[in-house]
Amino acid sequence: RAYQGRLQEEINQDRENHGKKPFPPDKFDKEETKEIKESTTDRNGFVLGTIVTPGNTHDSQILEPLVEQVIKKVGKPEAVAADAAYKTPAITSYLFNKEIIPALPYTRPRTKEG
């Protein structure tokens, strides 16, 4: 969501520069009941950062705050290894901009043959 927020700001700024109205912010909120505890560990399994989120929060929305927490506490990591839920353009862009190597799984092409 952090990337989405920055992108929304850039789009609205460009629209204003061209004499158009900015897009309104999204206002969809829903009550949450479940919680998920996300954590970041080093190669030895020591916890470096942790965040508790509502149960319906997608994993990919947690990576940026966790990485920022790790950078603040112990310094910038060389690489971040994550599962397929974190393999999004926003996350890879964020990691490359921070000069952190993303270690994400291979996913085969999903296009039809022919």
Query: What's domain 31-103's architecture?
Result: 2-Layer Sandwich (3.30)
pTM of this prediction? 0.60
Low-confidence ranges of the chain (pLDDT < 70): 1-2, 26-35, 114
So where are the chain's domains?
A: 1-27, 31-103
For position 99, what pLDDT does the model report? 95
For position 102, what pLDDT does the model report? 93
State how far the Cα of 64 lies from the Cα of 102, in Å rounded to an integer. 13
Per-residue exposure over 49-86, b if at least 16 CB sit within 10 Å of its own CB, e if not: beeebeeebebbbbbbebbeebeeeeeebeebebeeeb
